[in-house]
Structure formats: structure tokens, C-alpha cells
Structure 1
Amino acid sequence: MNSTNGVKVLPESNEFQKLLLSLPKERGAMNQPLNLYKGFWYRSHALESVMAFQRHFQAQDSDIILATAPKAGTTWLKSLVFAVTHRSQYRITGQNNLLLTTTPHEVVPFLEEIYNHNKSPDLTSTPSPRIFGTHVPYTMLPESVKASKCKIIYLFRNPKDIFVSMWHFGRMLPKDIPSLQPITIEESFERFCKGISLFGPCWDQALEYWKRSIEKPEEVLFLKYEELKEDINKQLKRIAEHLGCPFSYKEENAEVIEDIAKLCSFQHLSNLEVNKTGKDLFPQVENRAFFRKGLVGDWKSTLTPSMVETLDWMVEQKLHDSGLTLN
């Protein structure tokens, strides 16, 4: 088995299967079978894809990587960044805007999904800037990404809202798939608090990107879902500046920022036909499943006081003295 800067590289599928047999296994917060690798939990096919991604992906300086924990606002971030970077190509209010006819997950594909379908895809012809999404922690990104000048944007969300969104998302999945059989919210919550969730623990993932954003702010922009909701215009300016395409005085006067915010708003995107029908990302997940409420504080209607106290204490312990607050 080869090694690149401490990250195991598995050149053959049978070697990956040997590794898989050696990994700790648990059922996750949505009851999927997960494998623990280097401190984070993965579905087996996702871990194999991540390793292929590490092995083959060659970053370009103009690349943009959008990293999120699952259910932390991924769909919204993808639409916002696509709109910001393509605002000269697609008129924000024009009928030719790709976001009107294509889901955000199609215009900004997950690297894990790309490498799930093809372990060595040719991405050289992808138009620049190439924008990709990922759920992997910073330490699992390919060395080519870390060594390049590509930009990373990380979006996080209050873990209580992440859990509630994940819980409802899991209940929308097909009930005829054995690995996705529903469990009680108490069981799901207990596993989530132990960090046993897809690409979790989510607070450990957030901490990795947070530390990197402090060390190299020119590389990683750390965003909070709650701050996006509170002042979307301010955060869109931060996004554009980080990506090297700041809004001009003329654009601000023409209310381009406001138009992007409206185009990518939950109310607008969730009511588009393309986001209400079909199954474009996963064959078992309908597009509408990615648009539930998009609210801040939705956890208040679901979690008991005891659950809130438990999760708040857990997060506080994990992030102690880091400077990062998530509540």
C-alpha cells in the first residue's frame, strides 16, 4: 500500500476491500452502515470514491471547492456561488440562467459522486472556473488541492439544525431499502451526539476548516448558515471577494447582489419545477427532498430540552478554546 503525505493510497479495489474489513463499523444517525476511517464516518462506496478523488484529482489554481457537512446548507451554497461566478455569463434575471432549469447539485457536482461513477474521470475539459462540492473533512482533500491556489468555501450550521434536517431527510428516503430502515429519533440523536453520521462528527469537520481559515484565510473562507440568513448581501460580498470577482460599484447600484439573493432564495429555488420533480443526484432521493424549510432554529419544534442540553454541552466540549462557536 502506498502513502502520500500520511494519506493511504489504494491503487486496487481488492486492496480497498481489505482495508474496509479492518475498519470499525456502526449504524449511523440515518441508520446507514458506516465505516470509521481517520476519525470520520463514511459509507463504503463514498470512502472508495474519496480515495480515488485523493489519488487522481489534479487541482487547478482557478478551481473552487465548496465544502459542507451534510444538511448544513449545501444546496444553497452551491446556487449562490454558481450565480456569483457566472453572473456575466448568465443574466441573473434572465430566462437563460442555468439555475432555472438545472438543480444546484447538477451545476456544482459532488466530487464524491463524480469519482463514484468513474474512479479516474477526465475533468480537463470542464469549463473554468471549475466548481465542485464535497462533504469530506479538510484532511481528506487531495494534496493537489492544498498545494494549489484554488479557493475553498466552507459552510457550517448549528448542529441542532443539522440533526433535525438530517432526521427529516432520512424519513423521506425509501422504506423498502434494508439499509435505510427508519429508527426512532432518540436512537438517531444518540448516534449523532457520538459523531456517528455521514462524514461526521460534523463539529470535528468544522474545526478542521475553521483552523485552516485562520491559518490561510486566502485559501479557506469559513461561513455560517445563520450569518447568511441574517445578512445575505454582506456574505455574498465576502464570497465574491474571496473568489477574486468582487462586485463593482456599478453592479451594486444595479442591485445585482439583491438579484442573486432572490434567485437563490429558498422560496424561489424550492418552487422551480426542476427542484420539485425528478431524481437527479441519487436514484432513491427526489429533488424536493433537498428543499424542506431552510429555517434557522427549526430544531426548537423537534428537540426536547434534554436533547438541546446534551448536544449544546457536547459541542461546547469539542470546540473548547478553539475560538469557534456554532450555537
Structure 2
Amino acid sequence: MDNQNQYLFNFRGYNFQRSIVSMNIVENMDNQEIRDDDVFIVTYPKSGTVWTQQILSLIYFEGHRNNTENILTAERAPFFEYKHPSVDYAKMPSPRVFCTHLPYYLVPKVFKNKIVKILYIYRNPKDVLTSFFYFSNSVILYEASDSIETFMQAFLDGRGKY
């Protein structure tokens, strides 16, 4: 693990945001329990993850019929690699819906032996860049950019808190 700075850290070639990732899950990815009926939403950030979480929540949890609208999206379809103090993955009823931004080489190897459903959502890179630019300028946690050109160059160079 290469600690680049206080905000991000690099684990096996992938940068994680230190404050939200669960290192226990990431370091022991191959030991995580994966069920045959699990559903994984795999996306690059700002590519439609939340929309897909909402759509699958309506399908799998029957929308408003059983009061799932009162449960946070992050608890209905949590990010697999993130810290969720109020969610115990082992106690979640099947089928479980997870999201992840993990690259292919970091996902649990057991995916190859299970009947896991994987939805890979992608978006035009120009739209991802634009969405990420406005998102990063609205979130205090990220570094604001004065122009989309400056943001794009920092993004492509791997600089900044993105």
C-alpha cells in the first residue's frame, strides 16, 4: 500500500478515498461472502450509479410497497468497498444489491465461480468529465477548479482530490 497523501491511498494500483473505504473489505476481497443471487452495479464514478441503485431498488424491493423509500439508498444498495456502520452485509436478506467502482482485477475472484448478476454501467467520457467537474465544485471535500479545462488536465494527469 503506497500512501500518496492524506486524502487518497494507493492499493494494488488503485486510488481509494481514505475516509470512506473499508480496508478490511479491500484487503480481504477474496474472502468476502458472495451469494449466487447477489447483484453488483459496476460503474466508473459519475456514470449513473445512483440512478441504477434507485431503479434496482424499485425492482428488487418492490419500491414503495414495503416502505423501502424510507431506507437510505446507501443502505438498500451499499457500495461493496465502503464503510457502512449501519449495514451488516452478512445479515442483508437475499437478493443483495451492491455497487462498486472497483476495477476488474480487484473484485473477488469468487465472481468466476458464482452466478452473480453484474450490471456494468458506462457513460460517455465527456459527460462523465462534465458531471465530475460540477460535482467536485459543489462538494467541499474536493478541490474546486476554476475551469473545466483545468479540471480535465488535472483529472487526466491524476492530480487533485478526485
User: TM over 0.5: same fold?
Assistant: yes
Match of residue 41 from structure 1: 15
* Residue 147 (structure 2) pairs with residue 163 (structure 1): no
Counterpart residue number, 2:53: 78
CA contact (8 A) 1:61 1:150 kept: yes
Does residue 1:20 correspond to 2:8, yes or no? no
Checking the alignment, whether the CA contact within 8 Å between 2:40 and 2:100 is kept in structure 1 is: yes
Q: Is the 8 A contact 2:36 2:115 kept in 1?
A: yes
Aligned to 1:123: 89
Structure 2 unmatched runs, 5+ = none
2-structure distance, mates of 1:150, 1:55: 14
Pick closer, same or farther for the CA change 1:167–1:133 going to 2, 3 Å.
Answer: same
Q: 1:105 aligns with which of 74, 78, 87?
A: 74
Which residue in 2 is equivalent to 1:240?
A: none
- Please tell me whether the aligned partners of residues 41 and 198 of structure 1 are also in contact (alpha carbons under 8 angstroms): no
Structure with higher helix content:
1
What is the deviation of 1:123? 2.8
Higher gyration radius (CA)? 1
Secondary structure, aligned partner of 1:111: coil
Shift of 1:55: 4.7
Residue identity in the other structure for 1:111: F
> Scaled by the length of structure 2, what TM-score is found?
0.78
Q: C-alpha distance in 2, partners of 1:35/1:165? A: 23
Question: Taking structure 1 as the reference length, what is the TM-score of the superposition?
Answer: 0.42
Query: Where does structure 1 lack aligned partners over 5 or more consecutive residues?
Result: 1-18, 27-31, 200-327
Q: After the TM superposition, which residues 82-93 of structure 1 pair with which residues of structure 2 at under 5 Å, given as runs? A: 82-86=57-61, 90=62
Tell me the residue number matched to 1:67.
42
Say what the alpha-carbon RMSD is for the aligned residues.
3.1
Deviation, 1:98, is 1.5
| CA displacement 1:36-71 (0-9 Å, x = unmatched) | 444433223537355245154111111111111111
Residue 73 to residue 49, structure 1, CA distance change in 2 (3 Å): farther
Which whole-Å CA distance do the structure 2 matches of 1:57 and 1:132 have between them?
Answer: 13
CA distance in 1, matches of 2:92, 2:145: 41
How far is the alpha carbon of 1:107 from its aligned partner?
A: 1.2
Structure 1 position 141 matched with structure 2 position 115 = no
Deviations 1:266-324 (A, max 9, x none): xxxxxxxxxxxxxxxxxxxxxxxxxxxxxxxxxxxxxxxxxxxxxxxxxxxxxxxxxxx
Deviation at 1:108, TM superposition (A): 0.6
Question: How far apart are the structure 2 equivalents of 1:198 and 1:126?
Answer: 32
* Alpha-carbon distance, 1:80 to partner: 1.1
After TM superposition, list the pairs within 5 Å mapping 1:1-327 onto structure 2.
Answer: 19-21=1-3, 25=4, 33-45=7-19, 46=21, 48=23, 51-52=26-27, 54-86=29-61, 90=62, 96-99=66-69, 101-114=70-83, 117=85, 123-174=89-140, 180-185=142-147, 186-194=149-157
Change (3 A) 1:111 1:143: same
The AA in structure 1 aligned to 2:78 is P
Shift of 1:167: 1.1
- Report the residue type matching 1:43 in the other structure: Q
Q: Is the 8 A contact 1:20 1:44 kept in 2?
A: no
- Paired with 1:136 and 1:198, the residues of 2 have a C-alpha distance of 17
SS at match of 2:91: coil
**Equivalent position amino acid for 2:152 in 1:** F
* Distance in structure 1 (CA, Å) of the matches to 2:112 and 2:161: 23
Kept after mapping to 1: 8 A contact 2:25/2:32: no
